[in-house]
Structure 1
Amino acid sequence: MPEESLEGLALSCKPLGENDRLLTLLSDDQGVIRLAVPGARKPRSSLAAALPLSHLRLQVGGRSGLRRVRQLKVLRSYSGLAQQLEALAAAQALSELCLALVPSEAPAPGMLADLLMQLGRLDGLVRERGCDLEALAIAVQGSVHLLALGGYALPLGRCARSGEPLEPPLGNWDWRCSLVPSEGLAIGGVPGARVVLNASELALLQRLLRPNLPRRRDGELMGPLPVWLHLLELVEHWTQEHLGRKPRAYRLLRTGLAPGLAAS
């Protein structure tokens, strides 16, 4: 394969041999790809900037086997997320979810742009010393977006059993809908449900399909911490059912925000 230019986000970087790194990159055109970065572990290497959560432009060569990075340029680094545990955990969870969703060397339209949007929000949150709750909300909304882009969208439009529209009656505190991960959301309390939502929780979840986080008129984020943790639990069950695993960083995020309530 001739030398080519690639742009993407470094999802992970691992040691490779004595001085090299194995870079896992999310790109639009080729999905998740793995590349060797020669000498990247040497302090003075021009390729040492191949680090996780870096938006990179690469020049890649090699005709067979593991292709090699020849040059790189950092378009934006999100290393500052390490200053806030919850923001870093949210970023790691979204990166892990991409690894589970995106096939190797197959186009992944929209995935990179959405992930970069969420990372940009997390980076802004850290810079402005924003609240930890917002990092959790970004992780939940980002997961909803990525699942939809990856072909595993949460079915938020109709009841999985009756086919009725899922129209939560706000103000009716007796109304419920249940997540049955193998089917979707069903109106009412269903035996064997993994998560049961009230009307306001479902309405909040449905709003996460929009580009922006749900906010009140005063700009404050909608929903308290217990509600966002409840929605994270729902996303975890859906991801486990349909992908066979869930991001380990979900647990780190939950532990940081609610010690003692971490999911197993």
Structure 2
Amino acid sequence: MSGDSRLEGLVLKAGPLGESDRLLTLLSASDGLVRLAVPGARKPKSSLAAAVPLAVLHLQVGSGRGLRRVRQLEVRRNFAALAQRLETLAAAQGLAELSLQLVPEGAAVPGVLDDLLLQLARLDLVVQERSEGVEALALAVQGSVHLLALGGYALPLAHCARSGARLEPPLGDWSWRCSLIPAEGLVLGAVAGAQLVLNASELALLQRLPRPALPRKRDGSLMGPLPVWLRLLQLVEIWSREHLARSPRAWRLVREALVPRGPAAASSGSGNRWSP
């Protein structure tokens, strides 16, 4: 139709609108977050019923003021398989929630969509290859580190927030500590009032996460045990609450999927003796 436009992106959120319509929040590389109405999408036989969360859609969108309406859609990719496992679905939902907080409506944030799609594809492989659940947790943590950096809230991993000294964790020195002070960053030593204290191996693992790939050993297995990845997830949660006012609710589901009997496995990892 004359005046219509084309739009492509990932559906981060969907909800009911009126009796049978659906309200989408789409993450687009060109326009940031875009809210769209999908007429009749909640009807069982609707041609627009595929407008669901975690689907990559190519859309024909009507023009005009106010809430624009989707005319036609084509599914480019669907990450529905992530729902086969709670930890992969929750990890994907958490990254989607974080993206909603970081990207403004109508303004693109370069790199966010590409990185989010990369992490979703890796979570899809976790399902396909029946990998251990800790892989999904690690992708959730690494994806959060990437998205926070792209959104302007990068974790300061290189220098002490107070002294300016380089953070160079001495692997094998089990007495070494650094502290997370959310309003400042990471501080050398075990500091009073810290919300989280890391040992040398934990910080060394965290410092690898801005890289493209997950940190792995020579045999291809993931670096770091489950309790350490849970602590790094906790660190990401604390940082998000401080700088974005809240943390994704889905991180609780990730934790419950991996530690169903309680928080014992997520207890303080400062005494965990492992090395990257």
Residue 32 of structure 2 contacts residue 107 of structure 2 at CA under 8 Å; is this kept in 1? Answer: yes
Question: Mapping of 1:1-264 within 5 angstroms?
Answer: 2-259=3-260, 260-261=262-263
Q: What CA deviation, in whole Å up to 9, does each residue of 1:169-228 have, x standing for no partner?
A: 111111100000000000101111011000110010010000000000000000000000
- Any conservation in 1 of the 2:5–2:63 contact (CA below 8 Å)? no
**Cα offset for 1:107?**
1.1
Whether the 8 Å contact between 1:175 and 1:199 is mirrored in structure 2 is yes
Q: CA deviation at 1:4?
A: 1.2
User: Amino acid of the residue matched to residue 113 of structure 2?
Assistant: L
Q: What corresponds to 2:274 in structure 1?
A: none
| In 1: Cα distance, 2:131 partner to 2:245 partner | 33
Contact 1:27 1:108 in 2 (8 A): no
Alignment partner of 2:263: what SS? coil
Task: Provide Cα deviations, 1:36-89, integer angstroms capped at 9, x if missing partner.
Answer: 001111111111100010011111113100001111111100001000100000
The structure 1 segments of at least 4 consecutive aligned residues displaced by more than 4 Å after TM superposition are: none
Distance 2:144 2:57 in 1: 22
Q: Provide the C-alpha distance between the structure 1 equivalents of 2:144 and 2:151, rounded to a whole number of angstroms.
A: 10
The DSSP-based 3-state class of the residue aligned with 1:228 is: helix
Helix, strand or coil at the partner of 1:230: helix
- Residue-pair matches, total: 263
Q: Say whether the 8 Å CA contact 1:53–1:79 is kept in structure 2.
A: yes
Task: State the 1:112 CA deviation.
Answer: 0.4
Query: Aligned residues: percent identity?
Result: 69
Structure 1: state its 5+ residue gaps.
none
TM-score (norm 2): 0.93
CA distance in 2, matches of 1:171, 1:70: 60
Aligned to 2:15, the other structure's residue is in SS state strand
CA distance in structure 2 between the partners assigned to 1:108 and 1:148 by the alignment: 11
TM-score (norm 1): 0.98
- In 2, distance between residues paired with 1:5 and 1:177? 49
8 A contact 2:148–2:155 mirrored in 1: yes
